[in-house]
Structure formats: C-alpha cells, structure tokens
Structure 1
Amino acid sequence: MGATALIVVDMLNPYDHEDVDLLVKSAERVVPPLARLVGRAHAREDIELIYVNDNHGDFTASREEITQRARAGKRPDLVEPLLPPRDRPFLPKVRHSAFFGTSLEYLLHHREVETVILAGQVTEQCVLYTALDAYVRHYSIKIPRDCVAHIQPDLADAALRMMERNMRAVITVSGECLDG
C-alpha cells in the first residue's frame, strides 16, 4: 500500500479579501481540529505533511514572506496554530488547484503517495479543484469535513457531495482520516 499525504491548502491567509467575514466564521471552527490533525500527521513517519499556499499574486514570495504576511494579517490567531514546520514541504501556488503551477504531482509521485487527505480552505473553491486534479491523477482522496473552511455553506455542502460522488472521495472527520 502506498503512502498517504495530508495536504494543507491556503491556511496562511491575511484575511483581508472579499467575503472574509463569511470565511472567518468557518475558519474559526476548522482551525482547532485541523491543528490537531496536522500535529498527529507531523508526528507520524508514514504520513507526508505538505503545505500548499496561494502566493497572493507575489511570484517572488518565499515561504517566510507568505508566512509573515499571514501572521501580520487581520487574524493571526487563525494562522499561528497552523504554521508549517520547517522540515515539511511548502509549495506556493498561483491559482485554485494545489497542482496547478506547482511541483506537487512530482513530490507525491517521488514519495509514492497513493492517498491524499485534503484540508484547508476554501471547500467550494481550492479544495474542490485540488480534489478534481487529484482524482484525474488517480489518487485516492479523503476530506475531513471538520478541517475544510468555506465561504458559502450551501456551495461547500454541494462541493463535498460532488467530491464524494464524482471523485470517489471519502468524506470523513479529522479523528478518523489517518486510519487505514
């Protein structure tokens, strides 16, 4: 059986954009279980922990700069618990999918990953598009519903249903997604 990767999507966010109030309400609920999941994944040698984060239009931004901007943003309390460990991959991205314009596919292949666990934000946007790209690349997909934040609850629910039905994603909870 191949390896599993927990991919944390777009959690280094300055929270200064359109629809931020709606996103923050959801992110406040997601950060505690996601931080626990990240901690469990980081402690296990059999789980790859990978951060993929929007570069917010700055194509020269480093891990440190993206992290600092998020920490200096409006909600550092939502960023601090999820700072990427130095010993784990951090890939800046430019658009919705964590695969688009990044080395994620190569990294997953190199690490012999077969299952990806997607967590982060936004369920109905970046998580959905990343799941689709994972599916067309033949990865098994798990989504812990308590670890994905949304802007629009109805669209997030529809996105989770689409991922489950059309991409064969297993919709689970954080306490169970590292099992099996």
Structure 2
Amino acid sequence: MGNSALIVIDMINTYDHPDADLLIPSVRAALPHVTRLIAQARSEGVTVIYANDNFGEWRSHHGEIIDKTLAGVNAELVEPILPDGASLFVVKARHSIFYETPLTYLLSQLGVEHVVLCGQVAEQCVLYSALDAHIRHLRVTVPRDAVAHIHEDLANAALRMMERNMGARITTSEEVVF
C-alpha cells in the first residue's frame, strides 16, 4: 500500500471575494478539524501539501501569498494552519489542485497513492480535486467536518457524489487513517 498525503486546499485565503460572508462561518467550524488533521499528519510523518490559489497574483510565490493573508482582516483563520518548514506548497490557478500544477508529478515522486483532502470549498475546489484524484487512480478520503462550504446543500450533494461516483471515503477528521 502506498504513502498518504494530506492536502490542504485554499485555506491560505484573504476572504476578500463575493462569497466570503457565506464561507467564513463554515471555515470557522472546519478550522479546528483542519488544524487537528495537520497536527496528526505531522506527528505521523505524513507529507502535508498546501494547494492554494494565487488570487491572480502571477508574480507571487507562496511566501507572498501567506504574507498577504496574514496582513488581512481574517488572519485568525490562517494563523492556526500555517505551513511549517517541512510542508510543501503548490500554487494553483483554477478549481482543481491538479489542473496545470506539478502535483501529479510530486505525488508520484513521493509514492503517494492516497490523498486526504481538507479545506475549501467542498462544492467547488474539493469536489473537482477529488474527481481529478480519482481519475489518476488515487485513493481519496474527505473528512466532512474538515471541509468548508458556501452552500451547505451543494456541499452535501458534492460529498455524496465524491463517495458514490468517485469511491471517496467520506469520514470525520477523527476517523482519518493516513
């Protein structure tokens, strides 16, 4: 059985976008579970990869993205889950963590066959990333309490789709096995 990786999707965020008011309450609810998963992965020696939008800042690198979010009004949503020195960071431009990123190559180099996806947004980036992981023959786990949503009904439908159509294991963060 291959290695696992925890992938933290779009949690380094300024929350300066039209859906932020709908998203932030769900992020606050998911944040303790994401934080716990990151700590668990680190303590078990599991690779933690941050896959994050660049907010259209094509000259930025991950340090600048982090600095921008920490300077914003919602820094308290970012501080608990900051990457450490061992974390990897992939900048993405669109919804899927795989689209036009080096993630497929990185995971193959690490021998990763199982990804645990957490972060935001369940009905968008997490859903599309789970599909792309599935078509790459990766095993996928999504802890429902560690993914934030904009629209709860769409998030619930997305989680059902991931489970039924993609064979993803939908669980709680406490039940995650790397």
Same fold, TM-score > 0.5, yes or no: yes
For residues 18 and 8 of structure 2, the distance between their equivalents in structure 1, rounded to whole angstroms, comes to: 22
Partner of 1:48: 47
Partner of 1:19: 19
1:37 aligned residue: 37
Unaligned stretches of 5+ residues in structure 2? none
CA distance in 1, matches of 2:153, 2:87: 33
Counterpart in the other structure of 1:149: 148
Aligned positions, number: 178
Tell me if structure 2 keeps the 8 A contact 1:122–1:151: yes
Alpha-carbon distance in 1 for matches of 2:19, 2:73 = 14
Amino acid of the residue matched to residue 176 of structure 1? Answer: E
Inter-partner Cα distance in structure 2 for 1:178 and 1:61: 34
Is 1:115–1:140's contact at 8 Å kept on the other side of the alignment? yes
Determine the C-alpha separation between the residues in 2 that align with 1:3 and 1:74. Answer: 37
Q: What do residues 76-117 of structure 1 show as CA deviations (whole Å, max 9, x unaligned)?
A: 111000111122110110000000111110011011111110
Asked whether the 8 Å contact 1:23–1:149 carries over to 2, the reply is yes
* Alpha-carbon distance in structure 1 between the residues aligned to 2:66 and 2:168: 30
Report the counterpart of residue 64 of structure 1 in structure 2.
Answer: 63
Q: Which residue of the partner structure matches residue 28 of structure 1?
A: 28
In the alignment, the residues of structure 2 paired with residue 131 and residue 171 of structure 1 have an alpha-carbon distance, to the nearest angstrom, of 11
Q: Distance in 1 between matches of 2:96 and 2:73?
A: 25
Tell me, in whole angstroms, the C-alpha distance in 2 between the residues paired with 1:174 and 1:43: 15
Tell me the CA shift for residue 178 of structure 1. 2.2
Structure 1 runs of 4+ aligned residues shifted over 3 Å read none
Contact 1:143–1:171, Cα closer than 8 Å, also in 2: yes
Gaps of 5+ in 1: none
Q: CA deviation at 1:42?
A: 1.0
**Residue 43 of structure 1: how far off its partner (Å):** 1.5
Match of 2:88 in 1: 89
CA RMSD of aligned residues (A): 0.8
Structure 1 Cα separation of the partners of residues 68 and 85 of structure 2: 17
Identical aligned residues as a percent = 52
Query: Conserved in 2, the CA contact under 8 Å of 1:13 and 1:73?
Result: no
- Listed one character per residue, the Cα deviations across residues 6-33 of structure 1 (whole Å, up to 9, x for unaligned) are 0000000001101111100100000011
Give the corresponding residue for 2:125: 126
* Displacement of 1:74: 2.3
* Counterpart-to-counterpart distance in 2, 1:57 and 1:175: 35
TM superposition score normalised by structure 2: 0.98
Which residue identity lines up with residue 173 of structure 2 in the other structure?
A: S
1-structure distance, mates of 2:160, 2:76: 30
Q: Write the distance in 2 (CA, Å) between the matches of 1:177 and 1:36.
A: 11
SS in 2 for 1:175: helix
Q: Give runs of aligned pairs for residues 68-83 of structure 1, distance below 5 A.
A: 68-83=67-82
